[in-house]
Structure 1
Amino acid sequence: MDLLGVTIVTVALPSITDDLAASPAQSQAMLSGYTLTFAVGLITGARLGKRLGLRRAFVIGVAGFTLASLACALAGAAWVLVLAQVVQGLFAALMVPQVLAFIQLMYDPSERAKPMAAFSALLGIAAAAGPILGGVLIALDLFGTGWRGVFLVNVPIGVVVAGLALRALPPARADGHVRLDPAGLALSAASLFLMMWGLAGLADTQTPLVQVAVISLGLVLFLVFLVQQRASDRRGGQPLVPLALQQRSTFRSAVGVQILFFIPVMGFSLVITHYVQTHLDYTALLAGLVVLPWALLTGVGAGVGTTVLLPRMGRRVIHIGLLTMSLGMALVVAVVLLAPAGPAFWHFLPGSAIGGLGMGLVVGPLTEIALSRVSREHASEASGVFNSVGQLSASFGFATVGSTYFAIAAGAAGPSDGLYSDALSVALGVGIGAALLAAAVAVRLPQRHINSANQPTDVDVDR
């Protein structure tokens, strides 16, 4: 529900913009409003899971997400849709971190590889399948709903998920002594907001210094947040990111890879679907089918990468995945540059398939590496931080890869202008650069992956 909520909007955006007469700023807010509030709220959502109990927090999150989706579908103005998406993101922040926390708590270390592989495979498939489902729903136009169907689909899913959760998930005990750390929440929210606002505005070349100043202020506040978290921990408080979690070198390195990894993933989905609809006049459904191989191969890569390759190859599987994903995007750039007037549909498929396979080889093993050495005591916080970083990276993808594409494409004289091909090529080049930088950061991951079955469950095993 979460990842479909992010990616499904990318393919529906042209239809939404036309129907609601949305301004460029409102269109950008439709992409970033959800992901930004989601990223800001995830760590606090993980803390609320401890305070309310995991199952109760999850069900409340699902219910709120479902009602907010209904509000999105009923929106009659662009600003109403943006506001509903902000609310949707906040409830998603309560829903999502409980999932990984449940895996950590319900399974012994020796049993986690398979459920983690399943989780990662579905995560990758959902991220890539959003444009496909969005295209199908818009093409079907069930009951004349048009783009509103991409939000209405969450309503029956949410009802079923909430019912299954109440029946199948254990009622994890609530801890009323857990506090929320409002100072940490305020600092993290302000820093993330400023960084994302500044990055999104870099496409406006008239005020680059202002945007750089905003980004710099956000970075300063983030450093203040880290200092505040350490001070709170040393005073015996309850920071959003415990010091014990910050000091785990494996977790820190995995977070570094994660924040770079989703930039090309989400950026690719956004710009390729917009390019083929705007420049090549594809339908929303055909645009979704362009990334179908990405979705299918992501699931395959995640399953094989986590259960087969990671135990044998360690961090090398992460490097192979990032390089494979970069190769896939480079192939898409090549076919676009060789046929700027318009590549054939099938020309996109090899690059899409190779890119999806590379994504799968990263998303599954990286999640397993990041959380395998985290004790159960910090399962909720680790889940919140890791998910938050992934969503922040998705926002970075929209703000960097997306803004690069839209800034160049803005100069196009019409849909047939070859400037769209230049815009796509440069934007995907930015995404490839982020993937290669992630591969460099991945050098700091453990060279060999130690089977969590051989590790203590509730002690610090990584200093």
Structure 2
Amino acid sequence: MSETAGVAKAEAPGLGAWLAFGACLIAVFMQMIDVTIVNTALPSLTADLGASRSAQLLVISGYALAFACTLLTAARIGAMVGRRQMFLMSVAAFTAASVWCGSASGATELVIARVAQGAAGAGMAAQTIAILTAGFPRERHPLVFALYGGVAGFAGMLGPIVGGVLLTIDIGGWGWRSVFLINLPVGVFAFALAWKFLDRSRPEGRHRLDLVGAALSGLGLFALIAGMAQIQQHGWRLDLVAVTCSGLVLTAVFLAQQRRRTTRGADPLLRLDLFGNPGFRIGSMLVGAFFGLFTAFVFAASITMQDVLGYSPLLTGMVMTLFALGAGAGAIGSLILVPRWDIWALAAGIALFGGCIGAGGVYLHLVDGVANALLCAGPVFAAGFGVGLFGVQLQPMMLSGLDAKRMTEASGVLPTIEQVGNAVGLTVLTTVFFASHSLGGAIMMMGAIAAVALMLAALTVAMPSRAHRERAALSAS
């Protein structure tokens, strides 16, 4: 069996394939919830450990940076040693790092443990697409990706809520430590499922890790994402712009090095021929832009409701919950609408989101910021529905034109594109919105989000049709 195998009997998935998929869902739940759950515990751990302001930021950003900068390398290691082996090692490492976080005696130790946790999370995430595409036939991909994307999105939004509950009930008197220690039983369960049901085959052939490429990609992504994160915090200072530009230069050098390596017939860290497929190329642009847009929207919406419109945290949470429910309905609806309408369903979804946000900006202007939350309930739900319809089915659609081997090569590429999109979205948000941090700024931001969403709808229509994607996949096989 080839290295693309992640679950046995991919042609006819049975209970074992679904239980292996369950291990992936548990892993992504832990990985995503730990992005946001720590925000709730930050005041408590700061007081307990005496963490400085910089240490507090590193507790949050250290995880995200380690995750983003190691995805490509983790995907290649998975192809070398086997997806099952890499996934099991990463789940074990993530669980151990979570216990380390929960038992840290100082702020510096916690930051180091969070970096280890983020790198282990990348090890899990970088195998998932390869496992799912190998474990299920193409006709099941929309369903499994809908479930996978729904769990990932739900976990990120659930993080602050779960964190608040754990701090309130204070299991064993652990306080803030419980937000990390809760991963121990969850991680053990995920490991047990993966150990039992993931395919045990070893990869065929000999593969070598491109150490130069790993260093260039890691350093380039670190400088790029860290630079943009610092710009978000401190503004467009010359030194921070220089760091960000150095990241762009290193990334360009990395891409050139990967092209040369591919030409020589060596194993590259990133297969650039993936982008020769029109569906994957356009889909990559859509994924990066969408994640940047969505990150900016969620962050701006929460601050706008509380700081500009005067909503209470409870009312803000209710509005965002309604949006999340709409996204869940859109994810479910996509299973019916996308098979029927293909790319037009996705374009309609993101256009619906943009239209609702644009109408919301007009409404805030007309009422001078005195908004009726009940009146906005319908558009908020509809906006969420559009996001769910678009976001959940975008990845399986862009992968459907690739053969099985190329799908596994995308396992580390897609999450990396998502992370870069997140960083760019927050940086642009800082420039466009927080320069004024007022009602006018909020309306301007909503207009910008609506405009970008409508441009994404137009770009989505340029995606190859289902018939073209199927022909491309057959010719590549």
Task: Report the TM range for the smaller structure's normalisation.
Answer: 0.7 to 0.9
The residue number in structure 1 matching 2:338 is: 310
Unmatched tracts of structure 2, length 5 or more: 1-29
2:224 pairs with 1:208:
no
**Structure 1: distance between partners of 2:41 and 2:361:** 23
Q: For structure 1, which runs of at least 5 residues remain unmatched after alignment? A: 410-418
| Residue in structure 2 matched with residue 293 of structure 1 by the alignment | 322
- Whether the 8 Å contact between 1:43 and 1:381 is mirrored in structure 2 is no
Match of 1:445 in 2: 463
Match of 2:394 among 366, 370, 385: 366
Between 240-249 and 330-339, the greater mean CA deviation after superposition: 330-339
Larger mean CA deviation between 324-333 and 153-162 belongs to 324-333
Change (3 A) 1:204 1:302: closer
Query: Structure 1 residue 384: deviation in Å?
Result: 1.1
CA distance in 2, matches of 1:372, 1:117: 14
Q: Which amino acid aligns with 1:246?
A: F
Q: Which moved more, 1:263-272 or 1:293-302?
A: 263-272
Output one character per residue of 1:114-159: Cα deviation in whole Å (capped at 9) or x when no partner. Answer: 2223223323323333333334334444444444333233222111
Alignment correspondent of 1:151: 180
Number of paired residues?
447
Shifted more, 273-282 versus 20-29: the winner is 273-282
- Quote the Cα distance in structure 1 between the aligned partners of 2:188 and 2:316: 29
- Say which is worse superposed, 67-76 or 335-344, in terms of deviation: 335-344
In 2 relative to 1, CA 59–276 (structure 1 residues): closer, same or farther, beyond 3 Å?
Answer: farther
Residue 180 of structure 1, CA deviation:
1.6
**1:460 maps onto 2:476 in alignment:** yes
Task: Report the AA paired with residue 2 of structure 1.
Answer: Q
Name the % identity: 33
**SS in structure 2 opposite 1:233?**
helix
Contact 1:405 1:427 in 2 (8 A): yes
Q: Counterpart in 2 of 1:378?
A: 406
347, 350, 357: which is aligned to 1:319? 347
Of structures 1 and 2, the one with the larger relative CO (CA 8 A, separation 6+) is 1
Partners of 2:305 and 2:46 lie apart in 1 by 17
Deviates more, 1:355-364 or 1:337-346: 337-346
Larger mean CA deviation between 2-11 and 141-150 belongs to: 141-150
Q: Distance in 2 between matches of 1:263 and 1:54?
A: 29
Q: What letter matches 1:450 in structure 2?
A: A
Quick one: which amino acid aligns to residue 185 of structure 1? Answer: A
Structure 2 partner of 1:85? 114
Query: Conserved in 2, the CA contact under 8 Å of 1:49 and 1:380?
Result: no
Task: Give the CA deviation at 1:233.
Answer: 0.5
For residue 118 of structure 1, the aligned residue among 135, 147, 165 is 147
**Which residue of 2 is the match for residue 190 of structure 1?**
219
Q: Is the 8 A contact 1:68 1:85 kept in 2?
A: yes
Q: Deviations over 1:277-324 (max 9, x none)?
A: 7786956x776444222332222212322x222233222223222233
Q: Equivalent of 1:64, from 83, 87, 93?
A: 93
1:90 partner letter? A
Distance 2:360 2:42 in 1: 22
Cα distance change, pair 36–102 in 1 and its aligned pair in 2 (3 A): same
CA distance in 2, matches of 1:296, 1:432: 21
CA deviations on 1:32-79 (whole Å, 9 max, x unpaired) are: 322222122111111111122111111111111112222223334443
Residue type of the alignment partner of 1:449: R
State the Cα RMSD in Å: 3.4
Asked if residue 255 in structure 1 is aligned to residue 277 in structure 2, the reply is no
The match for 2:294 among 265, 285, 289 is 265
Larger deviation, residues 430-439 vs 290-299: 430-439
Who is 2:23 aligned against?
none
What secondary structure sits across from 1:170 in the alignment?
Answer: coil
TM-score (norm. length: structure 1):
0.83
Give secondary structure in 2 for the equivalent of 1:112. Answer: helix
Residues 115 and 264 (structure 1 numbering): CA distance in 2 closer, same or farther, change over 3 Å? Answer: same
- Correspondence 1:165 to 2:187: no
Report how far residue 89 of structure 1 moved: 1.1
Contact 2:402 2:472 in 1 (8 A): no
Equivalence for 1:414: none
Provide, for residues 235-293 of structure 1, a one-character-per-residue CA deviation record: whole Å limited to 9, x for no partner. Answer: 0011112243131121111111111111232334445456667786956x776444222
Q: Residue type of the partner of 1:251?
A: F
Report the 3-state secondary structure (helix = DSSP H, G, I; strand = E; otherwise coil) of the residue aligned with 1:442: helix
Structure 2 length normalisation: TM-score?
A: 0.81
